[in-house]
Structures are given as C-alpha cells and as structure tokens.
Amino acid sequence: MVRGYTDASGAYRVNTRVSSSTFIYRPENVFVEDNVYVGHYTVLDGSARLAIGEGTQVSAWSGLLTHSSHISIRLYGRHYLECPEEQKKGYQLEPVTLGRYVFIGSRVLVLPGVTIGDGALVAAGSIVRADVAAFDVVAGDPATVVGDTREMDKAYLEDDPQLLAWYTEWQER
C-alpha cells in the first residue's frame, strides 16, 4: 500500500492510499480527492474522465471502467489496433464519477457513464450499470437499491455527539 497520491490535476493527496498492485490506465484522466483508499488488484480506467471523491473506499479486485470495446472489437476484427481509440466506431467512452464517502465492495464493476452519489454503498460482487443516488445501498447484477446508508448509520450516531458532528460535517460541504 502506497500512502500519498498525485492525481491528474497535479494535486498531491497526502492521506490517499493506493495499492501498489492497482492498475491505473491513462492516469492523466484519473482525478482522486484526499482520504481515498484503493485496494489491491483494482483497475482504475482513465480512458475517459474518472473522478473519485473525498473519503471514498474502493475494495480489492474491483474495476472502475470508463470505456468498453464490446462493439468495436467485432466491427474492426483483426484491424482493431490500427485505429486510435477515440476514432473507433462503436467504442464507448464515458466518464465515471464516485461521490464523497462512497464505499465500493470487493469484486465490483462500475461500467462507463455511471455516477455514484455521496455516501452510497455498493455491495461486493455487484455490477453497476446505472447511476446510484446519494446514500443508496445497491447490490446485485444489475445493481438495484436494497437500502439506505443513513438508516444503517443511525444506531452508531444516536449515542455519540462527536461522531454525529463529524458525520454531518462532510455532508455540509
């Protein structure tokens, strides 16, 4: 695990931790805020813009994908590598955005064009094909809403005024 990360904007994120086994494709398009954790054997695809918000955790063996060649590979056949990605017909290239304090479980795939809202949780093994609202808990393939993180968090916050203050602090920005 490597502590500290310089993202595509040139900003150094002192409290961000990225595994040394994480594969970052096209890092010039990967924007990561501080206090982020990216687990082992994860793929961060910066073919299009990939933005990861403050405090987000991405568990091991996950993939945040901003491109798909599932159509263009058939269209071009053995000539696929002869044409630049940006010029290929059928080549999907869409940004992915993860909000603040999102949790991505192990072995999750987030597909191109998806936005995941602040405070959301994606259960392990899920495939996220559509946007996820803030504070939603999603699971499955395709990922569907199964809960709300605010309901999960209530029991922890009821008896701890300091924890409640910290919890609401990041939501007010």
pLDDT digits (tens, 9 = 90+) for 47-56: 999 999 999 9
What value does the mean pLDDT of the chain take?
96
Q: Is residue 69 part of a domain?
A: yes
- pLDDT band at 4, cuts 50/70/90? very high
d(CA 134, CA 141): 19
- pLDDT band at 12, cuts 50/70/90? very high
Task: For residue 54, give its domain range.
Answer: 21-148
d(CA 36, CA 42): 13
Task: Say what the pLDDT of residue 85 is.
Answer: 83
- pLDDT band at 71, cuts 50/70/90? very high
Q: Is residue 132 part of a domain?
A: yes
Q: Which whole number is the average pLDDT over 29-42?
A: 97
Q: Is residue 136 part of a domain?
A: yes
d(CA 138, CA 119): 12
Task: Say what the pLDDT of residue 172 is.
Answer: 86
pLDDT higher than threshold 80 for residue 173: no
CATH number, domain containing residue 126: 2.160.10.10
Give the model confidence (pLDDT) of 83-110 as tens digits: 998 899 999 999 999 999 999 999 999 9
Q: Is residue 135 part of a domain?
A: yes
Q: Is residue 4 part of a domain?
A: no
Number of domains in the chain: 1
Q: Is residue 169 part of a domain?
A: no
